[in-house]
Chains A and B, each alone.
Chain A
Amino acid sequence: MKVCIISEGSYPLIPGGLSEWAHMLIKNLKDIEFEIFCIVSFEENKPWVYERLPNINEFVVKPLIRSNSKNGHESLPKAASSCLTDFFEGVSAGLPLSLDSLVDTLPKHTIGKEWFNSQAYWDFVKNNYENTYAGGSFLEYFWNCYGLNSMMLDSLNFVNEIPEADVYHCVSTGFAGFAGALAKAAFKKPLVITEQGLYLEERRNDIIRQKVSDLYGKQLLKFSESMIRTSYKYVDKLIPPCFSHIPIEEALGADVNKIKVINNGIEIERFQPSIRNERTPVIGCFARVVPIKGLTFFIEAAKIVSQKCPVDFVVLGDFQDKEYLNECQDLVQKLGLTERFKFMGHVNPVNWYPKVDIFTLTSLSEGVPYSLLEAMSCGLPSVCTAVGGIPEILSGGAGYVVPPGQPEKLAEKYYALLQDKELRLSMGEKATQKAKAQYTIQKMGQEFRNTYQELVN
């Protein structure tokens, strides 16, 4: 069986939880051949950050934003033009798209960005503005449309670039899910989508982070919603890693009968509990330094706790956003935590779990974080924000959850655990048991193998 993994800005070129998950899946399913179709933002050569596994046959990397648009025609036959207009109307309205007629029409014409010069496209842009965005700056709206629709038009090329396979497996919705939907429409092969994080939530966080205008925010969300709904329309099996995603997916049009939860799995044998020596306790946040991880709340909570008892804090993860790192470091300095709070950068987590006494995640949005599963397997008590699949994972006394964005609540739970060694040990024990029972890579691999076979058959 040949499975084509479709990733967007992740495996195997960008490190992170999602890439880690994809790598482990492929590594575990040795009997299945994989092809990788990786979508990146720009045209540039990036090296693999993961070992190239022997069961990976083909690797194709394609950019979203392409400088060399092919020489298309401004005016297209009425049918093709109307097909594209319908397509972009759907994109702008956040609707699920019908790709079947598009994949039939596309190969017959040379379609490039020149079509954006056409009267048909102009009429669509103008009408859409008047119906939805009247009152805002038309120039800004116009460029937003151009930027977003250019990416969409370029991504239609994926249909000619995706390798043929028996099953298409997208590791997220968004552009990966859209590419998968195109492949499904073109090749009529089963489509699987796993949703570790929730794409729309991530875009909302981007909008806040990038401080974009309301107009662009609205347009971007509609655009993303359309891609997600299209992915759900064409998917054969939608696989969230936790039950908490299901209502959100359903609200965006996913067919609940096609949803199947498969828990993420880890290599339990690599993450074993260890004996901790007496020392100043350490609270560790295993997360990349990016805004979505809510590290400023961790720093603020650290300030509160450090005023009550001696404790050290570490953040273990790549510095992926230098601007945000500076923001965090400035806050550490401002709160007088320079001696107690350290940013360690990229580390091997296996070496660090024994050095940490309490595991924490302060994210604003998560799927099912691998670091949490690993920490649980290592017998660490956890304090995490109640986002994504975390409450589900930590249920049954395996850890504390607090609402996101509330440093006082985080500090309260840290302090409770720091004051009670027995509580830490018993919570860690429960966490280990739960990890071994529910979150093994073998279990996850078997469930995916079964899903692929079921769909192919």
Chain B
Amino acid sequence: MSESRLDLKQVYKPEPKNSNVNQAILFILPSIVITIISILLFGQLNVFPEPNHNIFLVTVISAIILSLVGMAGMQMLMYRIIDDRDHYIDGTAIRAIKMGLIYSCTVSIILAAIISPFLLNVLHFSITDFLYFALLLFLFSSTWIIISAFWAAERFKYPAIIFTIAYIVIFGFTYTAYRINSVYTLTGYILGTTTLLLLSFFTAIRVFPKPRLDHALSSDFSKLPKLISLNTAPILFNIFYVLAIFLDKIIVWVNQGLQTRQGLVVTGNYTTAAFLGLIPLFSIAVVAYFTSRTKSIVQDRYKGTFSEIQKGLKEYERIYRTSLGAMLLIAMLLTILAVISGYVLTGNTQILQILLTIAMGSICFSVIIFNSTVLVIFGKGSISTISVLIIVIAELITIPFVRYEIWYASLGFLVGSFVGSIVSLSVTLQMLSRFEYKMFRLLLKPQ
């Protein structure tokens, strides 16, 4: 009699895809290790004369930092592409790596061009030094891209093996080059890093299936704007996250550069302390355990009867609390380890003060990172972004005070991390306290 009968296709709605992309944050750990090795071996231990020393560290550390900032957004996109295969079904990882490498090459050239006046005119780099810097920037950027593909595909053992081998090779090459002639130190380091990239690249080629069909890279790139618009919060999170880790150090280096009229000085007490203070950040490796333990719960979170859903969510909450507790415990143990290391290596009280401040900040920072994996389930990724932005802002606020006391830079990191962790923790706990409601509420939000 009437035409208004319901078509069920109008009634059913798809459930949202899992947004378990925040494992990407773990990827920062190997880069911090490389940085710490560089600082400790060639910075604090002062193995070669002062001018070479600073150029070497400026080159290495600024290449690491710039590559991390430059690739932060692309890493998240790599994650999204590989994790959510709707976008590039055939040969997903290889196609994403191809795109990523083109991106890393382009961005490296752009960043090197932007920073070139500073390096050449202020720091008085020679053209060779500058080219080394640009090459290193490209090598690191490309490595981060490839490694993030392994991470996204949950092939964790490959990055672990690659980095272990690469750390040894980098150290071996650099030290050998230094022994031959200290002028070649950077060349040795670059050779080691090249090995890291090549090892990553060929492993990726071997591990990931190749595309069966020919795909125009232009068509792959054309999908990026939509992906970017859908992932603005996690992309910004990744960028702020990298900035938050390094900004206090940059502020101090610039300050030291201004005071000594050298432009940028990346050695000294603060640098050693600040990087050692990041050691507790390694506790965020627990995130890998947490996400793997909760993966099936997250995937099936909307399936079954209500009591089955509730049971799954209670289990999720239990694992969350246990993992968070374990992470904090590990972070504290790592803090003690870092303080002891600092004391043994330097015996300097100013270093210990900065180290302890940064280490406490790192514990709070770990909480933000850990919670970001939970908040994303509730569509609250922006809270994590805000939390890391708070750290960046707190660090920027310290700029006027650093000229009086460099410790303030670490205090900015601690205060920002503390406030950010409170924000992140309170929202996470609020979400978990009304887990089912918040989860189903998310379904009604426009995707």
**Are A16's CB and B1's CB within 8 A?**
yes
Q: In the bound complex, what is the Cα–Cα distance between A90 and B5 (angstroms)?
A: 21
Q: In the bound complex, what is the Cα–Cα distance between A220 and B6 (angstroms)?
A: 9
Q: Inside 8 A of B8's CB, which chain A residues have their CB?
A: 210, 212, 216
Q: Does A284 touch B at the CB level, under 8 Å?
A: no
Which of A8, A137, A147 sits near B11, CB closer than 8 Å? A147
CB within 8 Å of A: which B1-53 residues: 1-8, 10-13, 15
Given the known interface contacts A119-B437, A129-B306, A137-B304, the answer about A142 and B443 at a Cβ–Cβ threshold of 8 Å is: yes
Q: Inside 8 A of A58's CB, which chain B residues have their CB?
A: none
Q: Inside 8 A of A161's CB, which chain B residues have their CB?
A: none
Min distance, Cβ A169 to any Cβ of chain B, angstroms: 16
Q: Inside 8 A of B445's CB, which chain A residues have their CB?
A: 117
**Are B444's CB and A64's CB within 8 A?**
no
Q: Inside 8 A of A202's CB, which chain B residues have their CB?
A: 1-2, 5
Q: Does B129 touch A at the CB level, under 8 Å?
A: no
CB within 8 Å of A: which B407-445 residues: 434, 436-437, 440-441, 443-445
Min distance, Cβ B311 to any Cβ of chain A, angstroms: 12
Q: Inside 8 A of B6's CB, which chain A residues have their CB?
A: 147-148, 151, 206, 220
Min distance, Cβ A314 to any Cβ of chain B, angstroms: 23
Q: Does A134 touch B at the CB level, under 8 Å?
A: yes
Which of A9, A137, A220 sits near B3, CB closer than 8 Å? A9
Q: Does B302 touch A at the CB level, under 8 Å?
A: yes
**Are B3's CB and A14's CB within 8 A?**
yes
Q: Name A65's closest neighbour in chain B (CB-CB).
A: B10
Q: In the bound complex, what is the Cα–Cα distance between A419 and B223 (angstroms)?
A: 72
Given the known interface contacts A65-B10, A116-B444, the answer about A9 and B4 at a Cβ–Cβ threshold of 8 Å is: yes
Q: Does B303 touch A at the CB level, under 8 Å?
A: yes
| Residue of A147, A151, A202, A216 most packed against chain B (CB within 10 A) | A147
Q: In the bound complex, what is the Cα–Cα distance between A134 and B441 (angstroms)?
A: 20
Q: Does B309 touch A at the CB level, under 8 Å?
A: yes
**Are A122's CB and B11's CB within 8 A?**
no
Which of B1, B5, B11, B303 sits near A196, CB closer than 8 Å? B1
| Residue of A135, A138, A210 most packed against chain B (CB within 10 A) | A138
Which of B4, B434, B444 sits near A8, CB closer than 8 Å? B4
**Are A174's CB and B306's CB within 8 A?**
no
Q: In the bound complex, what is the Cα–Cα distance between A137 and B305 (angstroms)?
A: 5
Q: Does A39 touch B at the CB level, under 8 Å?
A: yes
| Residue of B6, B8, B303 most packed against chain A (CB within 10 A) | B6
**Are B306's CB and A138's CB within 8 A?**
yes
**Are A139's CB and B11's CB within 8 A?**
no
Min distance, Cβ A329 to any Cβ of chain B, angstroms: 22
A112-144 contact mask (Cβ, 8 Å, vs B): 1 or 0: 010011010010001001100011111110111
**Are A10's CB and B437's CB within 8 A?**
no
Q: In the bound complex, what is the Cα–Cα distance between A16 and B1 (angstroms)?
A: 7
Q: Inside 8 A of B3's CB, which chain A residues have their CB?
A: 9-10, 14, 40-41, 320
Q: In the bound complex, what is the Cα–Cα distance between A174 and B3 (angstroms)?
A: 12
**Are A17's CB and B1's CB within 8 A?**
yes
Question: How big is chain B's contact interface, by range?
Answer: 20 to 34
B297-327 contact mask (Cβ, 8 Å, vs A): 1 or 0: 0000011111101000000000000000000
Which of B2, B11, B443 sits near A18, CB closer than 8 Å? B2
Min distance, Cβ B307 to any Cβ of chain A, angstroms: 8
CB within 8 Å of B: which A202-247 residues: 202-203, 206, 210, 212, 216, 220
Dominant SS among interface residues on chain B? loop
Q: Name B11's closest neighbour in chain A (CB-CB).
A: A147
Q: Does A294 touch B at the CB level, under 8 Å?
A: no
Q: Inside 8 A of B440's CB, which chain A residues have their CB?
A: 122, 142
Number of interface residues of A (CB under 8 A): 48
Q: Does A87 touch B at the CB level, under 8 Å?
A: no
Min distance, Cβ B220 to any Cβ of chain A, angstroms: 32
**Are A367's CB and B1's CB within 8 A?**
yes
Min distance, Cβ B132 to any Cβ of chain A, angstroms: 55
Q: Name A212's closest neighbour in chain B (CB-CB).
A: B8
Q: In the bound complex, what is the Cα–Cα distance between A174 and B304 (angstroms)?
A: 32
Q: In the bound complex, what is the Cα–Cα distance between A129 and B10 (angstroms)?
A: 21
Q: Name B302's closest neighbour in chain A (CB-CB).
A: A139
Min distance, Cβ A74 to any Cβ of chain B, angstroms: 9
Q: Inside 8 A of B436's CB, which chain A residues have their CB?
A: 126
Q: Inside 8 A of B2's CB, which chain A residues have their CB?
A: 8-10, 14, 18, 172, 174, 202
**Are B4's CB and A143's CB within 8 A?**
no
**Are A10's CB and B1's CB within 8 A?**
yes
Q: Does A197 touch B at the CB level, under 8 Å?
A: yes
Q: Inside 8 A of B7's CB, which chain A residues have their CB?
A: 210
Q: Does A175 touch B at the CB level, under 8 Å?
A: yes
**Are A174's CB and B11's CB within 8 A?**
no
**Are A117's CB and B10's CB within 8 A?**
no
**Are A143's CB and B11's CB within 8 A?**
yes
Q: Inside 8 A of A130's CB, which chain B residues have their CB?
A: 306
**Are B306's CB and A134's CB within 8 A?**
yes
Q: In the bound complex, what is the Cα–Cα distance between A444 and B307 (angstroms)?
A: 56
Q: Name A141's closest neighbour in chain B (CB-CB).
A: B306
Q: Inside 8 A of A140's CB, which chain B residues have their CB?
A: 12
Q: Does A343 touch B at the CB level, under 8 Å?
A: no
Q: Inside 8 A of A136's CB, which chain B residues have their CB?
A: 305
Q: Name A140's closest neighbour in chain B (CB-CB).
A: B12
Q: Name A142's closest neighbour in chain B (CB-CB).
A: B440
**Are A172's CB and B305's CB within 8 A?**
no
Q: Name B310's closest neighbour in chain A (CB-CB).
A: A138
Q: Inside 8 A of B437's CB, which chain A residues have their CB?
A: 119, 122
Min distance, Cβ B445 to any Cβ of chain A, angstroms: 8
Min distance, Cβ A354 to any Cβ of chain B, angstroms: 28
Q: In the bound complex, what is the Cα–Cα distance between A8 and B4 (angstroms)?
A: 7
Q: Does A415 touch B at the CB level, under 8 Å?
A: no
Q: In the bound complex, what is the Cα–Cα distance between A113 and B437 (angstroms)?
A: 16
Q: In the bound complex, what is the Cα–Cα distance between A197 and B2 (angstroms)?
A: 9
**Are A138's CB and B4's CB within 8 A?**
no
Q: In the bound complex, what is the Cα–Cα distance between A14 and B3 (angstroms)?
A: 8
Q: In the bound complex, what is the Cα–Cα distance between A196 and B1 (angstroms)?
A: 8
Q: Inside 8 A of B10's CB, which chain A residues have their CB?
A: 65, 147
Q: Inside 8 A of B12's CB, which chain A residues have their CB?
A: 140, 143, 147
**Are A206's CB and B444's CB within 8 A?**
no
**Are B1's CB and A18's CB within 8 A?**
yes
Min distance, Cβ A388 to any Cβ of chain B, angstroms: 10
Q: Does A146 touch B at the CB level, under 8 Å?
A: yes
Which of B5, B305, B434, B443 sits near A135, CB closer than 8 Å? B305
Q: Name B442's closest neighbour in chain A (CB-CB).
A: A117
Min distance, Cβ A144 to any Cβ of chain B, angstroms: 6
Min distance, Cβ A195 to any Cβ of chain B, angstroms: 10
Q: Inside 8 A of B15's CB, which chain A residues have their CB?
A: 139
Q: Inside 8 A of B303's CB, which chain A residues have their CB?
A: 137, 139
Min distance, Cβ A65 to any Cβ of chain B, angstroms: 7
Given the known interface contacts A134-B305, A142-B443, A146-B444, the answer about A203 and B5 at a Cβ–Cβ threshold of 8 Å is: yes
Q: In the bound complex, what is the Cα–Cα distance between A126 and B437 (angstroms)?
A: 9
Min distance, Cβ A232 to any Cβ of chain B, angstroms: 18
Q: In the bound complex, what is the Cα–Cα distance between A126 and B3 (angstroms)?
A: 31
Min distance, Cβ A405 to any Cβ of chain B, angstroms: 19
Q: Name A123's closest neighbour in chain B (CB-CB).
A: B437
- B-contacting residues of A (Cβ < 8 Å)? 8-10, 14, 16-18, 39-41, 64-65, 113, 116-117, 119, 122, 126, 129-130, 134-140, 142-144, 146-148, 151, 172, 174-175, 196-197, 202-203, 206, 210, 212, 216, 220, 320, 367
Give 5 new A-B contacts, CB below 8 A, not counting A10-B2, A137-B305, A146-B444: A17-B1, A39-B4, A139-B15, A139-B303, A202-B1
**What would 8 A/B residue contacts be, using CB atoms closer than 8 Å?**
A10-B1, A17-B1, A138-B304, A138-B306, A139-B303, A148-B6, A202-B2, A216-B11
Q: 6 tightest A-B contacts by CB?
A: A147-B11, A9-B2, A9-B4, A9-B3, A197-B1, A138-B306
